[in-house]
Amino acid sequence: MKGLDLITAGPIPPNPAELLLGNRMKELIDDLMKRYDYVMIDNPPIGIVSDAHANLKLSDYPIYVFKANYSRKFFINNLNKIREEHNLDKLACILNGFDMRKTGKYTGYGYGYGYSGYGYGMGYGYLDKGFGYYDDEIEHRKPSLLKRIFSKK
């Protein structure tokens, strides 16, 4: 692709954390930011690999990606902790893998809040129809509004 440069990770080093946490990584990113309009860093999943936290401060605008019906709820709860620990002013969230065709006509309700360019939210609805966050504790999910209305006699 014209105008796009890519640096691959290369072979897996014996201790990848040393590369991510060392000064040379910061120097590389600083140099790239002088040469390019945008520098994107693809980190390993934060919920799985804690070394990825260090690279969040190297980015101007970290993006935290969740996959519908896959990411665990505690990953979402980590957002405040990550923001505070790393003194991040900005942290964006993206929900991918969300299939609108499976949501039905009504998708329930939701709420959200935030401050300083940061926020998060949660909603209830047709979780069994293809959206929401994966959670091992399914019995703790609140039934959809329609299910609660029609189950009353």
The more confident residue out of 39 and 86 is 39
Whole-number pLDDT of residue 129: 43
pLDDT at 104: 59
The pTM of this model reads 0.53
According to DSSP, residue 61 is labeled: S
Q: Tell me the per-residue pLDDT of 25-35, one tens digit each, with 9 for 90 and over.
A: 889 989 999 99
Give me the half-sphere count of Cα atoms (radius 13 Å) on the Cβ side of residue 20: 20
pLDDT at residue 31 in the model: 94
Q: What is the pLDDT of residue 35?
A: 92
Name the average pLDDT for the chain. 70
User: What is the β-pairing status of strands 92-96 and 63-67?
Assistant: parallel
What gap in Å lies between CA 32 and CA 30, rounded to an integer? 6
Enumerate the H helices of 36-152 as residue ranges: 52-55, 73-85, 145-151
Q: Provide the token pair at 104.
A: 């039905």
Instruction: State pLDDT tens for residues 137-151.
Output: 444 556 665 566 556
Angle 38-33-79 (CA atoms, 0-180°, nearest 5)?
A: 70
Q: Please state, for a pLDDT cut of 70, what percent of the chain lies above it.
A: 59
CA distance 55 to 153: 54
* 152 pLDDT above the threshold of 70: no
